[in-house]
Amino acid sequence: MRGVYRAPDQHAVTPQNRGRFPGFDVLDEVHTWDEVTAGVVLARLAPAVDLSFFSLAESGCATALLDLLLAQDREPRVPVMAMIDARLAAGETDGWHYDDMPEDGEAWRRTLAALDEDADTLAGRPFARLDSDQQAALVQRVQRLGSDGKQWHDLPAEHVWSLWTRYGCTAFYSHPWAWNEIGFSGPAYPRGYKNIGIDAREPFEVPDAAVEDPVPFAGRIERARNAHADLVGRELGDDG
Amino acid sequence: MRGADYKAIRARNDSAWLLPNDGNRSDHRLRADMRRFDDDEEVDLVVVGAGAGGSVMTQRLARAGWKVVCLDAGPFWDPDRDWVSDERGSHTLYWTEPRQIGGADPVPLGSNNSGRGVGGSMVHYAGYTPRFHPSDFHTHTLDGVGADWPITYPDLRPYYEQIEHELPVAGQSWPWGDPHDYPHHAHPVGGNGDVFLRGAAAAGIEARVGPVAIANGRFGNRPHCIYRGFCLQGCKVNAKASPLITHIPDALAHGAEIRAHCHVSKILVDDETGLATGVTYLREGLEHRQRARMVAVAGYSIETPRLLLLSSSRRFPDGLGNDFDQVGRYLMVQGAPQTAGRFEAEVRMYKAPPPEVSTEQFYETDPTKPYKRGWSIQTVSPLPITWAEHVTAQGHWGDVLREYMRDYVHWATLGALCEFLPQARNRVTLADETDRHGLPVAHFSYSECDNDKQLMKAAQASMETILRAAGADEVMTIDRYAHLVGGARMAARPEDGVVDGDLRTFAVPNLYVTDGSVLPTQGSANPALTIMSLAARAADRLKAGARSGVVDAGARS
């Protein structure tokens, strides 16, 4: 046994058990990483600490929003909300904010409150208690207002969308489970790569199983688009 | 000239040989033995910022025997201890103090273009080090756009050659601009570079491997690249060049002090004599003052103008050197659309350095086109978080986002650098928001002009052509920006800029600006090599004139 101990059912975990690289687990290579990097990556597997930035109500709304944006509809889930909560508590911004948006922490609070307000108007319930298709319709509306260059609750919808997706994707795709899902080999120091080039793999890399999938790439995207369209199918009137 | 004359390099800069060869990546001994100056001692030069320009300035003048203190707001990095082979964990490499962005086309800062700590943005730049073309120095005369520099390409060429050897740069013989060779041979390419080379060949476009500041083979005590792919997260290997390893070690060995975690808050000018007398800086909440005979600001295009604006005095009520409302203006970014292509085969673009292959075939003005100037194309290889930005930029979220992301290993990505034109309205001003020191933060306003927009479209089309020719079955593009230059530009007259061709401010004879903010135009080249070369040239000019003391502002050659 090399590296750190893991329970057998913690091997090759992917979010919602979705993925195309069967058996691939970046954590199998922890013993080849430098310890500073290993510490940073393994910390993402640590149990979440208590909320330190969001209020309970905000955290419920944020979890529902982020699960939707990242299609995390069942366990195992990457704890995206908790990761963002910790980041906002530490005040770790991207080093800029749009001059028509408040700073990031305040922007998160305001936009979550605005989502709850929309949900209340729609169904008299907080956002987290809406059906997923209702949630999806509200979120889709923010994106559409953004691409139309319009405001949403006195904020530019495009910049709200940027805030949500930036923070959401940064957290999700920093998690080793997400790397397992997409076949990314993660940290590579001091090991490096010996086999670079088209269709070249290291001994620990796993080929994309989709090559044997009878559905080609375009078909898989079409399938995902249809699932997505079903979810957001109930379009709301645009009063933005 | 192919091959490197190590004796000549070491006579100029011994940095690569001063690093340890025992597996440690930092020169702990040199740092422990570093000379330390007292705040009250008037040093010959205080440099603000230890990035591309500030580090070269520090090293060159320390080697000439000057007493130099270089202040940096961030840490004195130790690649072993401070950097990680991880995208998210590299957040500390970026300047993340608050800044506001606005204008019609706001430009994100932080990870995109702003460094922190000793080594500056070059710690997390890709590593491309192309030269500017001779035409870049007089676009106004040639094409009626942009501005003419007060110096020409031949003025800078010897310094390009010096710095290319000191980094060192690896690449194939370069056919564009002023044709030249590189001291190190080109690196082997990974999947992304392979796609570019095949697609370009099929489309009849010339492409070359390089130029990258990654040693091919050992260089001094710096080891060979391990093709790890994390160039943008700080090179833990010491294979990719940054001033932290290419100039700072030699500066330390020649008695310079690198004072980290010191945020310079003001440049001090004596209103009676009109000369700079030093700087104030903040460290751990306390204000200090470093006295100096000369000041060189090298905080890059956002912080340099901000510091000049913050350094107002009775004589300079609108900001230091701002008599003609030039400080902060003509700030430029390059339009940097990135186009990705999807291949049935696995590309796994995260393997091998992101900087691999370039073309400058579209760099110069094409008289048959409605737009002026052009663009370059280079491989870029986004890691997963950045790749997610590409996918969400298409409007995807939820299931579709996840499905595209699961296809990561099949995509190759190219990036263009479009020469956006300098415009007075694109500028840094002070915002009404303050940082944790209570100092007003920078507001950066950016709006594209029509020529810029045309270049973005044309560059995207050329990248799609290459990727389709290589066999891509789908392409996607994200519009983004890269690099920062300008904001305190050099000019022939004080009415048109902040510094002269020697990088000396028009307003204060012993105040210099030695960073990317002095560039009047930007070409389609990554700016690091040019910034370092300009600083090396400015240092040479200073050394030559040093014996005569401060030269009268009107009597410059």
Per-domain residue ranges for chain B?
40-548
Q: What is the pLDDT of residue A237?
A: 46
What's the rounded mean pLDDT across residues B517-526? 98
Q: What is the pLDDT of residue A234?
A: 55
Which B residues, 77 through 106, put their C-beta within 8 Å of a C-beta on chain A? 80-89, 91, 94-102, 106
Q: Report whether pLDDT(A239) > 70.
A: no
For B119, B244, B254, the CA distances from B9, given in Å and listed in that order, are 20, 17, 16
Q: Does the N-terminal peptide bond of residue A76 adopt cis geometry, omega within 30 degrees of 0?
A: yes
Would you say B503 and B513 are in contact if contact means Cβ atoms under 8 Å apart? Answer: yes
Q: Report whether pLDDT(A101) > 50.
A: yes
Instruction: Note whether B504 contacts A: Cβ–Cβ < 8 A.
Output: no
Specify which residues B414 forms β-bridges with.
B339, B379
Instruction: Note whether B450 contacts A: Cβ–Cβ < 8 A.
Output: no
Quickly list DSSP for B61-112.
HHHTT--EEEE-SS----HHHH--S-SGGGGGGB--S--EEESSS----GGG
Q: Which residue of A has its CA nearest to B407?
A: A182
Paired sense of beta strands B275-283 and B263-270, if any: antiparallel
Instruction: Note whether B408 contacts A: Cβ–Cβ < 8 A.
Output: yes
Between chains, do A187 and B398 touch, taking CB under 8 Å as contact?
A: no
Single out the residue of B256, B305, B311 nearest to residue B50, CA to CA.
B256
Q: Does the N-terminal peptide bond of residue B382 adopt cis geometry, omega within 30 degrees of 0?
A: no
For A141, B23, B37, B449, the CA distances from A236, given in Å and listed in that order, are 7, 61, 67, 37
By the 10 Å C-beta count (0-12 exposed, 13-18 middle, 19+ buried), B44 is classed as: middle
Q: What is the pLDDT of residue A224?
A: 87
Q: Report whether pLDDT(B286) > 90.
A: yes
Q: Distance (Å, rounded) from C-alpha B547 to C-alpha B543? A: 8
CATH number of the B40-548 domain: 3.50.50.60
Q: What is the pLDDT of residue A219?
A: 86
Residues in chain B within 8 Å Cβ distance of A100: 102
B29-61, pLDDT tens digit by residue?
999 999 999 999 999 999 999 999 999 999 999
Q: What is the pLDDT of residue B3?
A: 60
Q: What is the pLDDT of residue B554?
A: 41
For A113, A188, B194, B201, B209, the CA distances from B181, given in Å and listed in that order, are 59, 31, 22, 21, 12
Quickly list DSSP for chain A.
--SS---GGGTT--GGG--SSTT--GGGGGGGB-HHHHHHHHGGGSPPPPPSSS-HHHHHHHHHHHHHHTT--SSS---HHHHHHHHHHTT---S-EETTS--HHHHHHHHHHHHHHHHHHHHSS-GGGS-HHHHHHHHHHHHHHHHTT-EETTEEHHHHHHHHHHHHHHHHTTSHHHHHHHT-----TBT--S--STT---TT----GGGG-SS-HHHHHHHHHHHHHHHT-SPPP---
Q: Which residue of A has its CA nearest to B350?
A: A184
Would you say B113 and B106 are in contact if contact means Cβ atoms under 8 Å apart? Answer: no
Query: Domain coordinates of chain A in residue numbers?
Result: 16-240
B364: which DSSP letter?
S
Single out the residue of B206, B471, B217 nearest to residue B347, CA to CA.
B471
What's the rounded mean pLDDT across residues B264-272? 97
Tokens representing B423 are 């415009």
Q: How confident is the model at residue B351 (pLDDT cuts 50, 70, 90)?
A: very high
What's the rounded mean pLDDT across residues B99-116? 94
Instruction: Note whether B473 contacts A: Cβ–Cβ < 8 A.
Output: yes
B306-333, pLDDT tens digit by residue?
999 999 999 999 999 999 999 999 999 9
Q: Give the phi and the psi of residue B59 in degrees, each rounded to 5.
A: -65, -45
Q: Report whether pLDDT(B552) > 50.
A: no
B98, B101, B350 ranked by CB distance to A184: nearest: B350
A120-150, pLDDT tens digit by residue?
999 999 999 999 999 999 999 999 999 999 9
Secondary structure (3-state) at B142: helix
Tokens representing B271 are 């209103």
Q: Write the ipTM.
A: 0.95
Sheet arrangement for strand B257-259: B257-259, B68-71, B45-48, B295-297, B511-513
| Residues in CB range of B283: below 8 A, 6 or more apart | B261, B262, B263
Query: Nearest CA to CA, how far is B375 from chain A (Å)?
Result: 27
Q: What angle separates helix A217-231 from helix B399-406, to the nearest 10 degrees? A: 160
Q: Report whether pLDDT(A199) > 90.
A: yes
Would you say A132 and A176 are in contact if contact means Cβ atoms under 8 Å apart? Answer: no
Between chains, do A199 and B346 touch, taking CB under 8 Å as contact?
A: yes
For B192, B461, B544, the CA distances from B350, given in Å and listed in that order, are 9, 24, 46
Instruction: Note whether B395 contacts A: Cβ–Cβ < 8 A.
Output: yes
Q: How confident is the model at residue A2 (pLDDT cuts 50, 70, 90)?
A: low
Paired sense of beta strands B100-102 and B440-445, if any: parallel
Residues in chain B within 8 Å Cβ distance of A210: 406-407
Between chains, do B190 and A225 touch, taking CB under 8 Å as contact?
A: no
Which B residues, 26 through 85, put their C-beta within 8 Å of a C-beta on chain A? 80-85
Between chains, do B431 and A227 touch, taking CB under 8 Å as contact?
A: no
* Stated pTM of the model: 0.96
Q: Distance (Å, rounded) from C-alpha B466 to C-alpha B469? A: 5
| Residues in CB range of B218: below 8 A, 6 or more apart | B224
What's the rounded mean pLDDT across residues B507-515? 97
Residue B103's region, left for phi above 0, alpha for psi from -120 to 50, else beta, is: left
Q: Report whether pLDDT(A151) > 60.
A: yes
B157-203, pLDDT tens digit by residue?
999 999 999 999 999 999 999 999 999 999 999 999 999 999 999 99
Q: What is the pLDDT of residue B56?
A: 98
Q: Distance (Å, rounded) from C-alpha B358 to C-alpha B415? A: 9
Q: What is the pLDDT of residue B546?
A: 58
What's the rounded mean pLDDT across residues A143-167? 97
Q: What angle separates helix A157-172 from helix A80-89, to the nearest 10 degrees? A: 110
Residues in chain B within 8 Å Cβ distance of A225: 399-400
Q: Report whether pLDDT(B553) > 60.
A: no
Tokens representing B541 are 């000019």
